[in-house]
Structure 1
Amino acid sequence: MVATTPSLFAPETEVGDAPAAARPDDGRVGVLLPLPFDQAFDYASDRPLAPGTLVRVTFGRQPRVGVVWAGRRGTPPPAAKLKPVDAVLDLPPLSDELCRLVERTADYTLSPAGAVLRMVLSCPAGLSPPPTRAHVVRAGPAPDRLTDARRRVLDRLADGLPRVPADLAREAGVSDGVVRGLVDAGTLALEDLDRDPPLARPDPATPGPALNPEQHDAFQAIARRQTAGGFEAFLLEGVTGSGKTEVYFEAIARALADDADAQVAVLLPEIALTLQWLDRFARRFGCAPVQWHSGLTAAARRQAWRGVAEGRARVVVGARSALFLPYRRLKLIVVDEEHDPSFKQEDGVLYHARDMAVMRASLAQTPVILASATPSLESRVNARQGRYTHLRLTERHGAAVLPAVETVDMRTDGPKPGRWLAPALVAAIDGALDRGEQSLLFLNRRGYAPLTLCRQCGARYECPNCTAWLVEHRYRGRLECHHCGHSMPTPDRCFECGAEGELVACGPGVERLGDEVAERWPGARAVVLASDTLTGPDDAARVVARIEASQVDIVVGTQLITKGYHFPALTVVGVVDADLGLKGGDLRAAERTYQQLVQVAGRAGRADREGAVYLQTYDPAHPVTRALITGDKDRFMDLEEEARARAGMPPFGRLAGLVVEGPDLAGVVEAGRLLARTAPRVEGAAIYGPVPAPLARLRGRHRHRLLVQTGRDLSIQRLLRAWIEPLKLPPKVRLKVDIDPISFL
């Protein structure tokens, strides 16, 4: 079924469109600046400037880059007070669909439009022309005296590509003086050219692996929309190892082949660690894609941003912020692992990249593919209601089969005190080692232990800035807060009673599991894989390469190891604390735990060897555990859907979180009471709180929360805007509004 209007665009969202055209009115243009303002400011222009044009203006006394904007104009100032547009940047204008995306994102999230624009103009260096550098080019005939060294230099330039003099000399195996001599002779010349190398162009004609019938049918459904044109949202659901990536690779190839200027955006969670994905792309398309994520160097970010803006970057793979890059001709969007909570931006503009990807695809009138082995309940409901086209892959690709899943009841078959691996799991790892196969132990808890206390007096080590315990990191000899980064050396005596040798680590983290593995299997090659045991993407690549090459026997890891990795020799997966994610009051706790454990289990038996998964749990009868054992995902998700529908929770109702925070508790309490006193009394809306947040203190700021719940037929944005805009909060108190929250801390 062709998707029409996604739920994101329901009438209650109250989103606005930028007018399609604008021109100076009495010499005025509106300029939206990447600052936390919700209006465009008037400037004088001596010529018409199209909406989306990037300009340099003076705001206050500071030069700023802004965008000519057609809407959101405030009260016009007198013409005599207008400052002129200082310069027009030599860059293509932002597309109409991107300008409308800025408007709609601002309206949906209740954020200033300028704050959203700041995400678009997130690379100031990309707004200026790239730096130049002297390059050597062929300029005249070869000299009469052509030595062997000179001939080698000219041979290297035969391909017509300019080169930096030092690079040319190195490639030709000559001294710099040989190159200078050819320049002096007029055979070569020096030209100032862009320092950045040209971006490689993916080759859509490179053949990929043959698709099986299910993959072929899924691709054909997407291809039909690509041929017809227009928007359609596809939910590509496939069991782990079913080849979802190959399906959307074919769609990428189709987009590139159909339009020489087409651009494709692929969003991945934790992009810096998905190195296997980048390798697969390079094998399929003959070159690496353009990357966009926080781990890039400043030069790489500048080159990527400008390449996107100028249309030279044809395929961009990145984290959630890649959605707001200034694509000129966006023809396909892919959101891989669409269920992943890391697609929600939790600072600044609070948006969900999956939902904004659907919005941008609708504005660009282009297809969007949401891929996952465990789709979010929101996407599942959208597919069932016909807003998304549901494509299913039910079998693993090739000879691989899904692993068997078993529970280990920790109440009756758990490990001895001081140990964390149950006998059944230990025996399975023994067997894998005997067969020359690999094992994975999963625990989504970094460090050595989540809590340190004194056996003598019971004192616990808490972060001074946050309502959180300090986590012991024994590899580094420190106690650390995972929320604010506070760190201190691991003490040798209690801070409360002064007792020595009485501090004890409580509970396991991956480092502690690593110690148990080293003790149990001293001859095994083991590695602990977590964000704080890796030094960066290169280190992660080396570890992953070792695992792929079967140079590692046992992997101990957090969620980093669940992101689509393919290790052919890995056959045993042990989930050390399968109940961990079920704790707390998060309405998505069961769904998220199920999704994560499915991804973990999916690492086992991905080639021609059978896999087995062991879940260590204190509640084998929990619906999440039963669904994993039986493989009845639909039944589990049906129960989740029924429970959400009864409670009027998303996607059957709307939620907004309001957090008041500040350095002074009294001011935060006063702000919360002000919100409670002025809360609207509207039929169909319920407002809960204020109460201290579960993280009542974060980075030294006190926090209280309110929760707003409404039906789908009520505009939660309009309700919130009318409520909070007139309020004057106490000094230094900030109010953060989170539409569609996924975190309740």
Structure 2
Amino acid sequence: MNRVRLLVFNAALGVLDYRVPEGMTVEPGSVVVGPLGPRQVLGIVWEPERLTAQEVPEAKLRPLLEVLPVPPLPARLRRLIEWTADYYCAQLSSVARMALGSSAALRGGGTTTEYRLTGEEPARLTPQRAAALDALQGEQASIRELAELASVSEGVLRGMVGAGLLEPVTVDLDRPYPPARPDFDQPKLSEGQRKAADTFVDAVKARKFAPFLLDGVTGSGKTETYFEAVAEAIREGRQILVLLPEIALTENFLRRFEQRFGVSPVQWHSSLKASERRRAWRAIALGDAQVVVGARSALFLPYPKLGLIVVDEAHEVSFKQDDGVRYNARDVAVIRAKFEQIPVILASATPALESMQLAEAGVYRKIELPDRFGGATLPQINILDLRKEPPERGRWLAPRLVDEMKERLARGEQSLLFLNRRGYAPLTLCRNCGYRFQCPNCTAWLVEHRFSQRLACHHCGHETPVPEACPDCGTADCLVACGPGVERIADEVAEILPEARTALVTSDTMNNPEAIAEFVAMAEGRAIDVIIGTQLVTKGYHFPELTLVGVVDADLGLEGGDLRAAERTYQQVAQVAGRAGRGEKPGEVLIQTRHPEASVIAALAAGDRDAFYAAETEARRDAGAPPFGRWAAIIVSSEDLSEAQSAARAIGGTAPDHPDMLVLGPAPAPLSLLRGRHRFRLLINARRSAELQRYLREWLDPLEFPRGVRVHIDIDPYSFV
């Protein structure tokens, strides 16, 4: 090749042609560096017939500068990148960038210097050094990363190096990961588990595309079942990818994996240190990383010998990315498995309705685990009608739920209270003038957090101290917290059960793997009596002594305009209910609601999942909603309200009149101001057979907007705010 086409990571530049200097070897997928004016650009060599570019005469081509020392991106991955960009109407360069998850890793191996505590006890300490010593126990990282962990300046740490409190350690960037042993601790599976595991193992051996929906009730041992397929892929020298929806689930998974295979898997998520990320990426690209467990971004990494993909908790909304490239990792995982010609397992106790329909249609093969492992029974679910059994004045827990918690405490058993609302209260207002605290950057109320004594926006991160007086009328001691968050429920539990040992489990309190590990150890060691938490406690945990689950406000998820509200509520409540009675003792679930007649609540009470899915399916069919129709959203935003409104009207005014497509809007988004940007939305409902992406491109590509306007397309949207 003496001429190459380069996909560069700049959407404005797109595609550029370069000359290959004599003696340089490149091929499609090679990661290279080329000149661009006085600068240098990073790019990936692509097949020229697959990318259109402005033709440049040979004489004007500039030569490439270097080929980076990493394996070329495999052709199968390049096809996945193209498919994702096409389906989700995203920039090809934006999707390709996700494959190069660590720019430092592209420069090859070598060594780096990290630092750790020496254990020396200084004669006296400054407050900053004392804080650093407490925060950095057991940590080893670069000075910059340690400074972030300890919340001190780099200068403080460099002073600690000079004082002998921190010592340098030379680290091999490409040190190998210990190999997983497929036969380390083989479990005893039930007959149903063994049958399912054998099916997965056969699929791994066949090395063909085979999509499975592993539909098992909570506690049925889905993880142990697909671990057998993981073991077979390891024996065959293939790589395995396990996707988890949240980092909070990783700690529990790592422990179970290590028990089964003798070592931890390779991790990939946003909380990794830069050196860990670099090491992981290179091990993956070189084919040395056997099993990778990670968040959705791990899906686009350059595995050269992928043999199996598992998507655990496949129904989870967090697999859908809501900014940047707005892809759904669950669906893209199936497409990657198709390109790789390997099996993919979607595991869930409450599968998404789209997945259920694909299984009904025979596209996915459904594998069911209807019983809990080891003879454990599913919990009894009872409805607590708050209209008939209201809480005491000023409280949020009904008397019957309180009585059941007291009984569990007396028996030495554990209880869990679930409310999917962080903080102390969702709204704070002035009882004198009615002033409400609203975020200055978003159309959202500020949430009171009493533990940190702050008012916070959960959309943009804006925070402010709780004032002593109303900022509008100046009245002191007049602020009232309205509604409950988990912190308020925790305070109520402390009043009702002062002797109970409690744990608050939210993304505010469990914001790192160490905190999660400590919580799990305490819960398993029976050092916690009552767990109060948000959605972080709904899945993945196994506490044998937990026998009571109380859902504080089951109606919360049914509010607002979410078109999947009923399905999400069912999944969330069913998942948290599944934490009860997982050991030898039976479990009970109490669901507090003011709408017991709602179909989702009635289905939960009856334990009739099939009836709920059937009713939801018919409602979707009548509405032409997924999986029977298609949705797309167009989100228009600008810091200038009139500019955003004009752009949205221009888009709405040029909407195509197509029999396969209905355009709704434009209208102000429910969150009409988000992070300082004014937002408008259009919703498109199309027939399943419609060429939706082509229609959208033909509609939007000719339009031009001011520089401050952003227009995003969201295919198959999950968020409607």
TM-score scaled by structure 2? Answer: 0.90
Give the 3 Å change call, closer, same or farther, for CA 605–671 of structure 1 in structure 2.
same
Residue type at the aligned position of 2:216: G
Distance across 2 between alignment mates of 1:57 and 1:428:
68
Matched residue of 2:98: which SS? helix
Residues 1:700 and 2:676 aligned together: yes
The match for 2:420 is 444
Map 1:558-707 → 2, pairs under 5 A: 558-707=534-683
Amino acid at match of 1:338: A
Larger C-alpha radius of gyration, 1 or 2? Answer: 1
- CA-CA distance at 1:534 after TM superposition: 2.8
Q: Secondary structure at the match of 1:429?
A: helix
Q: Which residue number in structure 2 is paired with residue 58 of structure 1?
A: 35
Q: In the alignment, which residue of structure 1 is the partner of 2:132?
A: none
Residue pair 1:272, 1:293 contacting (<8 A) in 2 also: no
Name the counterpart of 1:476.
452
Residue of structure 2 in register with 1:128 after alignment: 107
Secondary structure at the aligned position of 2:18 is classed as strand
**Distance of 2:718 and 2:605 partners within structure 1:** 27
Cα deviation, residue 637, structure 1 = 0.4
Q: Which residue of 1 aligns with 2:88?
A: 109
1:327-370 residue CA offsets vs partner (Å, 9 max, x unmatched): 01110000000000000011111100000000000000000000
Q: Would you say 1:210 and 2:188 are equivalent positions?
A: yes
| Structure 2 gaps, min length 5 | 114-169
1:277 aligns with 2:263: no
Which residue of 2 is the match for residue 288 of structure 1? 264
Candidates 58, 61, 64, aligned match of 1:82: 61
Tell me, yes or no, if structure 1 residue 67 matches structure 2 residue 44: yes
Write the distance in 2 (CA, Å) between the matches of 1:461 and 1:667.
27
SS at 1:386 equivalent:
coil
| TM-fit CA distance, 1:544 | 1.4
- 1:133 Cα deviation (Å)? 6.7
Please state how far the C-alpha of 1:673 moved relative to its aligned partner.
1.0
Residue 8 (structure 1) aligns with: none
Question: 3-state SS of the aligned residue for 1:731?
Answer: coil
Which residue is 2:154 aligned to?
A: none
Once the two structures are superposed, residues 291-342 of structure 1 have per-residue CA deviations (whole angstroms, 9 ceiling, x without a partner) of: 0001111111001111100111110000000001110111000000000000
Identity of aligned residues (%): 53
Structure 1 residue 382: deviation in Å?
A: 0.4
Which residue identity lines up with residue 439 of structure 2 in the other structure? C
d(CA) in 1 for partners of 2:543, 2:423? 25
Take 1:196 and 1:205, find their aligned partners in 2: how far apart are those partners?
Answer: 26
Once the two structures are TM-superposed, the CA of residue 35 in structure 1 deviates from its matched residue by 2.6
> 2:433 — aligned with what?
457
Mapped contact 1:239–1:396 kept (Cα < 8 A)? yes
Residues 130-145 of structure 1 aligned to structure 2 (within 5 Å): 130-132=109-111
Cα separation, partners in 2 of 1:214 and 1:594, compared to 1, 3 Å: same
8 Å CA contact 2:427, 2:447 repeated in 1: yes
The CA distance in 1 between the partners of 2:680 and 2:37, in whole Å, is 35
Equivalent of 1:223 in 185, 201, 204: 201
Q: CA deviation at 1:232?
A: 0.8
Single out whichever of 195-204 and 288-297 deviates more from structure 2. Answer: 195-204
Q: Which of 329, 336, 357 lines up with 1:353 in the alignment?
A: 329
- Name the CA shift for 1:422/1:38 in 2 (closer, same or farther; >3 Å): farther
Asked if the contact 1:590/1:624 (under 8 Å) is kept, the reply is yes
- 1:502: Cα distance to partner? 1.2
Residue type of the alignment partner of 2:190? N
- Superposed, 1:181-200 pairs within 5 Å as 194-200=172-178
State the match for 2:123 in structure 1.
none
Kindly indicate whether residue 221 of structure 2 is the aligned counterpart of residue 243 of structure 1.
Answer: yes
Cα RMSD between the aligned structures? 1.4
Q: How many angstroms does 1:131 deviate by?
A: 2.7
Aligned position for 2:128: none
Q: How far, CA to CA, are the matches of 1:368 and 1:514 in structure 2? A: 41
Structure 1 residue 731: Cα displacement: 3.2
Is 1:30 matched with 2:8?
no
* Amino acid paired to 1:246: E
Q: Is the 8 A contact 2:268 2:280 kept in 1?
A: yes
Matches within 5 A, 1:36-435: 36=11, 39-45=14-20, 46=22, 49-70=26-47, 71-132=50-111, 194-257=172-235, 259-260=236-237, 262-435=238-411
Instruction: Pick the aligned partner of 1:526 from 488, 496, 502.
Output: 502
CA distance, structure 2, for counterparts of residue 290 and residue 102 of structure 1: 23
Distance in 2 separating the partners of 1:73 and 1:674: 29
Q: How many residues align?
A: 661
- The answer as to whether partners of 1:34 and 1:121 remain within 8 angstroms in 2 is no
For the residue of structure 1 that corresponds to 2:650, the secondary structure is helix
- What SS does the aligned partner of 1:415 have? coil
CA shift digits 1:176-232 (9 cap, x unpaired): xxxxxxxxxxxxxxxx99344321111112232111111111122222222222101
CA–CA separation in structure 1 for the residues paired with 2:198 and 2:42: 44
Q: Does the Cα contact within 8 Å between 1:662 and 1:732 map onto a contact in 2?
A: yes
Separation in 2, partners of 1:587, 1:38: 38
Structure 2 Cα separation of the partners of residues 125 and 496 of structure 1: 51
Gaps of at least 5 residues in structure 1 are 1-23, 135-191
Contact 2:392 / 2:399 at 8 angstroms: preserved in 1?
Answer: no
Instruction: Find the residue that maps to 1:461 and give its secondary structure.
Output: coil
**SS in structure 1 of the partner of residue 402 of structure 2:** helix
Distance 1:282 1:428 in 2: 37
- Specify the alignment match of 1:515 in structure 2: 491
Q: Which amino acid aligns with 1:594?
A: Y
Asked whether the equivalents of residues 248 and 536 of structure 2 are also in contact (C-alpha less than 8 Å), the reply is no
